[in-house]
């Protein structure tokens, strides 16, 4: 499977699981999360996961539309940063919302930094000169 197809697959998985986790938190886990005062943490994790699922799909489609391999490197870097960022940021927030160990707290900002880095790669790609 080529890079762009794989990124589209990953975007679909992140989007699907984000909707499923959002519904799970809003229904099956709601009482538990509200009682623990962590519903907002769960919702933040879902929010960032879904935003970056759509962003990942966007850069994958952008890379697919750009035949120039030099221009395709920036969307690739963005997608890798976003995938790692969602795993670390949203993943640790889900775990913390469910009462996971407190030492996970400092890992969450590392995921946020990776999410920001992905957007930085998108910005860098905007300045890349097209080879003709």
Write down the residue that tokens 């919302």 correspond to. Answer: 97
42-99 pLDDT tens trace: 999 999 999 999 999 998 888 777 666 655 678 889 999 999 999 999 999 999 999 9
Q: What DSSP string runs through 64-81?
A: HH---HHHHHHHHHHHHH
Provide the token pair at 127. Answer: 């300045």
The reported pLDDT for the residue numbered 50 is: 98
The reported pLDDT for the residue numbered 5 is: 86
User: Residue 94, class by beta-carbon neighbours within 10 Å (0-12 exposed, 13-18 middle, 19+ buried)?
Assistant: buried
Write down the residue that tokens 């400092």 correspond to. Answer: 106
Q: Which residue has the higher pLDDT, 130 or 93?
A: 93
End-to-end CA distance of the chain: 28
In whole numbers, what is the pLDDT of the chain averaged over residues?
91
Distance CA 124, CA 72 (A): 12
Asked if residue 52 lies in contact with residue 115, where contact means CB atoms within 8 angstroms, the answer is yes
Question: Global pTM?
Answer: 0.89
């Amino acid at each position: 499977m080529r890079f762009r197809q794989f990124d589209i697959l990953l975007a679909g998985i992140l989007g699907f699981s984000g909707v499923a986790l959002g519904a799970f938190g809003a229904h099956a886990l709601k009482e538990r999360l509200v009682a623990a005062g962590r519903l907002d943490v769960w919702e933040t994790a879902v929010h960032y996961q879904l935003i970056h699922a759509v962003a990942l799909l966007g850069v994958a489609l952008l890379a697919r539309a750009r035949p120039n391999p030099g221009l395709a490197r920036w969307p690739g870097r963005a997608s890798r940063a976003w995938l790692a960022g969602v795993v670390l940021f949203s993943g640790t927030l889900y775990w913390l919302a469910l009462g996971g160990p407190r030492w996970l707290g400092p890992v969450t900002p590392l995921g946020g930094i990776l999410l920001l880095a992905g957007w930085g790669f998108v910005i860098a790609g905007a300045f890349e000169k097209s080879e003709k």
